[in-house]
Amino acid sequence: MSTTGEGDVARFKRQAAERAVEAIQPGMVVGLGSGSTAAFVVHRLAALRAEGMLMDVVGVPTSVGTEALARASGVPLTTLEEHPVVDLTLDGADEVDSALRLIKGGGGALLREKIVAQASRRVLIVVDAGKLSPRLGTRWPVPVEVLPFGWRSQALFLEGLGARITPRQGPDGALYRTDQGNFILDCAFGPIERPEQLASRLEARAGIVAHGLFIGLTSELVVAGPSGVEFRRPS
């Protein structure tokens, strides 16, 4: 029986990212996601620019880390203040179901990622086949970004919804801070029967800044695995 190792996963991510970059057209404003898959997007875009292509494309980074990578790679950047409508966003995901609903935020950039996705005409999500799931929450907790003020009350609220809470920690053992200075509570709900209903309850709670359920935002999924690269649209 064959197994998929870390090297294979990285190769699949790169293959999917490079295919997704083919959707970028000259003159576009492109949302640049965060995480390892999005890094492949930035590297590919930089390589094309080095060949003299897509020179008038500008990126909107979804995290401080992506901004630093893009600048180091020579990819020109802009902001949503300068370009409030994004033509195309390329980003990854932690878990994807058959309706192309997502769990995102494993890298901590869920708020900016969602802002950019909602500002985009088209969102391509780039994943390896291991991110596909029969039901959201089966393989990944839902990250919930909360204000530091009163965060323990948010934890109690989330536990009341059935979540097992793990406050995210940084490498130093302190509570992890997002680019906005907020905390993240990783919420293990188990397989989520009604993601839309859960999303609505989270959005109605004061003190919850963002959650990692991305519903109705994916225009197309680019997934790579042992059988190659496949494109999927919402059913």
Spatial contact of 125 and 101, defined as CB atoms under 8 Å apart: no
Does the annotation count 113 as an active-site position? Answer: yes
**Sign (positive or negative) of CA dihedral 206, 82, 23, 227:** negative
3-state DSSP helix/strand/coil percent for the chain, to nearest 5? Answer: 30, 25, 45
Determine the Cα–Cα distance for residues 128 and 137; give it in Å rounded to an integer: 17
* Of 18, 67, 113, 145, catalytic: 113
Determine the Cα–Cα distance for residues 211 and 87; give it in Å rounded to an integer: 24
For residue 27, the surrounding DSSP H or E stretch is none
Catalytic residues: 113
